[in-house]
Amino acid sequence: MLTNVDASLLKTCSFINGQWQAGPDSFAVTNPATQQVLLDVHGANADMAEVAVVAAAAAQAAWAAQPAQQRASVLLRWQQLLLQHKADLALLLTLEQGKPLTEAAAEIEYGASYLQWFAEEAKRLYGDLIPAPASDKRILVQRQPVGVVTAITPWNFPNAMMMRKAAAALAAGCSFVVKVAQQTPLSALACAELAQQAGVPSGIFNVLVGTDAQGMGEVLTQHPKVNKFSFTGSTAVGKKLLQQCATGVKRVSMELGGNAPFIVFAKADIEQAVTGLLAAKFRNAGQTCVCANRILVEESVLPDFLAMLLPKVKALKMAAGEQEGAQIGPLIDEKAIQKVEQLIEKALAAGAVLHCGGQRQAADSLFYPATVLTDVRADMEIAQQEIFGPVVAISSFNSEAQAIQLANATEYGLAGYFYSQDLAQVFRVADALQFGMLGINEGIISNAAAPFGGIKQSGYGREGSKYGLDDYTDLKYLYLGGL
């Protein structure tokens, strides 16, 4: 049940220019005690997206003119409020997205960590003073905010994927309009409520919620007052949005899909690799862009690896996210669980072997148990697509070269993982793998200090780290003459 969550957070469908605004056919959530806090939101539309962009443009200059220290103070107050309300925000997130409460609480901390990180980075938006080619001249370089930033985010991390962008945008002096996934609006609206309490000025942080993704997307990618667009979601949708951004030559960041290899070499610490796989595979029931998707195990250690892995997978507790000890929550919707079922069905028909799981809990259930397959081949769809479910798909290999070839055989390039205690092998393989991020003897790689992002068809741009403001600032070159 939704308990001790401020019912006012559930009252409306969009937050624009510091005001709670109902959409043309929106409805307020009148019964906050329901388990399904929100089934389908008919809220904002393209017209409201335009209102939000115009409001963001009107507010941005004053926000940018504030000293960085003042912007940083507001971001830190916002961060403190998120942490102060962590229990409520985590419950809200679990009830609308499904992940275990422990993971939801970790996501609130993760999202808030970007506010802290970029509050500090805001004070270090340094420029350059460059020796000029003539003694009576000077070259200066200054960094200025790009202006109005719009964004579209996914349902799997309804707090962190938004905060990872908003924190950087606001720190740089930009204003921000985000269309969030219609499946998970409440976490973003709760953040908007707390942003207002923290002193984020009206128009600087705006949340759009509605079913008209296409219509709102066209405004957020093409409106003349938009300076930059940032997307986190599937590669297929990212390509569409990228085309839309081209019409106005917008600055763009793309955080797209993945197909992460998880390689276990014979020289790995097998127990460490099993622990790492449980973390890299089953977070959010396998519904993360950096989840281990293809498990590649060196032939000679496969029996030991499997013997150590299976009992731990079978012991994972599948339950509703708000239940004590839940480790595997439900998948987001019927379409998602049917995709997992079809991938497994085709893999088994093509010769894969099932060791555990393999069938949803009941015909109308969104719960899919932790599943282990072996004898998966690279030509199977389950090895070529993002599974986005709690499925360990294991293939074997016989050489380092073969492992690298198999790992790189994808158009994606977001995250990869490998386990080896041989330092020479670690550096050889790290150099050879074509991914933006590598976990080496580590299954969880995401944190605010790191440059999160991919290559190839996983997108470009980096979120977090000392590079994180690059996508939200323009470099301006000043040539000072006549000195």
Ligand X SMILES: NC(=O)c1ccc[n+]([C@@H]2O[C@H](COP(=O)([O-])OP(=O)(O)OC[C@H]3O[C@@H](n4cnc5c(N)ncnc54)[C@H](O)[C@@H]3O)[C@@H](O)[C@H]2O)c1
Catalytic residue list:
255
- Beta pairing class for 412-413 and 251-255: unpaired
Please identify which residue in the block is written with the tokens 């074997």: 396
Which of the choices ligand LB4VBGO6, ligand X, none does residue 446 contact, using the CB cut-off of 5 to 8 A by kind?
Answer: ligand LB4VBGO6
Which C-beta is closer to ligand LB4VBGO6: that of 288 or that of 371? 288
Report d(CA 373, CA 359) in Å as an integer.
Answer: 12
290 binds ligand LB4VBGO6 (CB under 6 A): yes
Orientation of helix 68-84 relative to helix 186-198, angle to 10°: 130
Strands (E), 169-256: 175-179, 205-208, 228-232, 251-255
111 binds ligand X (CB under 6 A): no
Please report how close the Cβ of residue 217 comes to ligand X at its closest, in angstroms: 3
Please report how close the Cβ of residue 382 comes to ligand LB4VBGO6 at its closest, in angstroms: 19
Side-chain-side CA neighbours of 38 within 13 Å: the count stands at 30
264 binds ligand X (CB under 6 A): no
Q: Which one of the spans 51-59, 112-120, 227-235, 264-272 is the region binding ligand X (CB under 6 A)?
A: 227-235
Please report how close the Cβ of residue 429 comes to ligand X at its closest, in angstroms: 22
Report d(CA 439, CA 446) in Å as an integer.
Answer: 10
With beta carbons less than 8 A apart as the criterion, state whether 454 and 460 touch: yes
- Beta pairing class for 455-456 and 437-440: unpaired
With beta carbons less than 8 A apart as the criterion, state whether 391 and 357 touch: yes
Report d(CA 149, CA 175) in Å as an integer.
Answer: 6
Which of the choices ligand X, ligand LB4VBGO6, none does residue 20 contact, using the CB cut-off of 5 to 8 A by kind?
Answer: none
331 binds ligand X (CB under 6 A): no
Report d(CA 116, CA 166) in Å as an integer.
Answer: 12
Report d(CA 136, CA 365) in Å as an integer.
Answer: 74
166 binds ligand X (CB under 6 A): no
Please report how close the Cβ of residue 289 comes to ligand LB4VBGO6 at its closest, in angstroms: 3
259 binds ligand LB4VBGO6 (CB under 6 A): no
113 binds ligand LB4VBGO6 (CB under 6 A): no
152 binds ligand LB4VBGO6 (CB under 6 A): no
Positions 435 through 454 that interact with ligand LB4VBGO6 (CB under 6 A):
446, 452
With beta carbons less than 8 A apart as the criterion, state whether 75 and 305 touch: no
Positions 365 through 424 that interact with ligand X (CB under 6 A):
386, 414
Amino acid at 155: W
Assigned token pair, 274: 């099993």
Which of the choices ligand LB4VBGO6, ligand X, none does residue 181 contact, using the CB cut-off of 5 to 8 A by kind?
Answer: ligand X
Task: By CB under 6 A, name the binding residues for ligand LB4VBGO6.
Answer: 156-157, 160, 288-290, 446, 452
Task: By CB under 6 A, name the binding residues for ligand X.
Answer: 152-157, 161, 181-182, 213-214, 217, 232-234, 237, 240-241, 255-258, 289, 386, 414
